[in-house]
Chains A and B, each alone.
Chain A
Amino acid sequence: MTVDLPPNPLAEGLETTRTAPPGVLVVVGASGDLTARKLLPALEQLCRRRLLPHAFAVIGVARTALDDDGFRQLMTSAVPDAAPGWSEIVKHSRYVAGDYVDNETFIRLKGTLSEVEADIGSPGNRTFYLATVPSVFEEVADGLGAAGLNQPVHDDASVRLVIEKPFGRDLDSARGLDAALHRTFAERQIYRIDHYLGKETVQNVLALRFANAIFEPLWNRSYIDHVQITVAESLGVEKRGGFYETAGALRDIVQNHVMQVLSLTLMEPPGSIDAQGIRDEKVKALRSVVIPTLDQVRTDVVRAQYDSGWSEGAAVPAYRQEPDVDPSSQTETYVAMKLEVDNWRWAGVPIYIRTGKRLPKRLTEVALQFQKVPHLAFAADESRDLRPNTLVLRIQPDEGVALRFGAKVPGQAFNVRDVLMDMSYGSAFLEEAPEAYERLLLDAMVGDPTLFIRSDEVDQAWQIVDPLLEAWASKTVPLAGYAAGTWGPRQADQLIEKDGRQWRTP
């Protein structure tokens, strides 16, 4: 059945054009921590900003024995001091309890969906958000498919499936997960969330590069000597020791967050800032990254684990002494690596990446270090403090852009030294940016996949990371140690110093 809705003339010219269409959000795993801590507050914010439609409700699905009223209570308590419209959403929301392996759960969900849609007047747009552990993604997708919930109720309705990282544990399992999801859902229906992409400042990399004429002409091998990407965390594994033991820094940060930042940094200008334009260019950029051979992994990758030390003024234990961590664990909490890129723009420009826990500060940045001037006309003692120009894109915290360049020191002598021109987004706009989940939830319901990761992006990122995992497994790369509260092991310094370069001190 096709329902052709005539245009709504009263909506013409309203500024909130990116309002979610009427529909239902089904949260699978609704009794879990992610739902209460992130999803419901993000939805309430959307409601507060009037970005949710009149006809909107949430259906929670989980194994926990709850009824409709229990779920409504959960929705209410998750957001104290909610906007007045929230109670209306809560009132229409429902709950389906059941096991994910039991098809009966999804048949009951189908019935509840029909009731809710009739209740609120929704034309059948459905967004399924899998707030579950990744191990049940496949079961849930199959269950939805078996109940026919993977198909829209009519041609103009939408059905979307939102899943969160990790997308597999390696290339094989990622491809297996994709194949399983594609059994029931088409790629265009699948929205893979890496919440990093929902961050305002990650999106700002696109604005900086493609809304300004001054940077792009310099953004290539003719001017840039090398790129450094740093994703540093000052915290240890905290209460996530059990999870971290199965992940490590490579899976937890490099395969997803780092690869996203890397692709946005390296990509060519897209024809248009839309989902296909941006995602095509991101994939092309990742395809240009040279997949490291085992020999290259041996020489260009360092993995390490933090020992005890001092962090932010407190003595902290070694990783192996953290709760739920194997005392002889070989899991890396730090990775440093050099990547090469084979394309016209970046050939010969090494990309140095480092990420770790228990580093001196929490920080994510991309630094583009420019080449030295071809001839320094100043006497050596007048310019000894001068270093090559660097453009730094700070992603978090204190988001902004900084440019380091040389300037004359006032006085009789012609001494030149570095100065930093530092622009902080926080100082330009004190306005609060929307939370990553708020942005991504709205995008998923609106049907804008720009900030979601496409299957081929995930695959390509795993292809780059997979040789490292194999090297880990074969113990080809020894596990180094570093004191908590430092910038990593000595081997990481050697990795970059052998190329005549140094890590930045952010």
Chain B
Amino acid sequence: MGTVIQASYFLAAFLFIIGLKRMSSPVTARGGIIWAGLGMLLATLVTFAYPGMHNYPLMLVAIFVGSVLAWVSGKRVAMTGMPQMIALYNGMGGGAAGAIAAVELAKVAGGRADLDVVTMTLAVLGGLIGSVSFSGSMIAFAKLQGLIKKSLVFPGQQLLNLAIFAAILGVGGYIVLGEPLGLPVALFFGAALVFGILMTLPIGGADMPVVISLYNALTGLAVAFEGFVLNNAAMIIAGTVVGSAGTLLTQLMAKAMNRSLANVLFSGFGTTTAGGEEAVEGSLKPIEATDAAIMMAYAQKVIIVPGYGMAVAQAQHKIWELAEQLRKRDVMVKFAIHPVAGRMPGHMNVLLAEAGVPYDLIFDLDEINPEFPQADVALVIGANDVVNPIARSDPSSPIYGMPILDVDKARNTIVIKRGAGKGFAGIENHLFYADNTRMLYGDGQKMAGELIQGMKQL
């Protein structure tokens, strides 16, 4: 391989790491993606000069098709649809890694290439991980997009998954050690794709952030393995960096929900019914938007707690408008974000940023919790399980032990909610029944609009 190509890959790997480093601070984040993008462009361009390649016209067609589809869909999607788009693009990366493995194994099966045992093992493992990440991410995409509404759970499911996984490993071992003929290779990839589907189907919507993050890390790992097979250091480095960074991110998320990764993957959360539930004391007390507006306008400190309901109602712009009205009246406004509010870590931050909320008004759980007792009003919009005090008090609750925002400690709480339904975990929220809680029923965007109107009329 030419020195120029090697040097370019080296530079690309360097740019990726610098880019990621810059992306981990809000001040330099915007520059970070551009650095990484330059690295990608460089690596792609020099690859055309790779020795011994053919099929160039078709390759250009493939790049064109993939790029245009992704460009158009990525530009068009609304900010609220970001999580599923990340799942989609991530799945494509996993599929590409799987395809590389398939081509290499097909060459070996056809007797046109000979790989040693270590390389074969990594090719097979990368192919397995990439394929699972591909089909699993597609299911995650379909679930978040609302194409699949139900979680599929049936008796003996985990036993079946385990059996399929064992079969995959068996066939994979045979390919590495025995004669890698066409049929086992085809069987191997087919089974891996099915496994990804079956693995993801039972997982509930509330757990999707963790799952997408996990598949992101897995795709990175698959890319690193295939990079070893193709003898490409840029792929090994970029893939491994993403693999480990993604694993850490997945752990942070699972920890924020106070659940282990195994629990997320194998328990079918969001579908289990909560047993032994405490009876709820008190009643739901509705409030009118005009009264709620007065309450907030004369407060000294208001903490706004957004949840997935805000994303569904596309209410982030109205909420910021409301916050600006309050700030004009010298009310101190802060936004409190639970780590798993929404469908992705930081989902709420992205939506608030879209609406123009400066990031220094946004606080996470540990920073904001001590401030709730001094807040005159906590405004909860479309959040449920992440503010349910039962997570502190009832050990039999499925969300017991999950860190929550201490909204119940604020002097008054206003909850904007579409109806009296339950959250993802399917449990009653005791906060809604508390003496100092008032319910403002309606669509988040519409209610925020009415609050602004009410405030303007004061």
Q: Do the two shown chains form a genuine complex with each other?
A: no
Please give the residue numbers on chain A whose beta carbons come within 8 Å of chain B beta carbons, in ascending order: none
Please give the residue numbers on chain B whose beta carbons come within 8 Å of chain A beta carbons, in ascending order: none
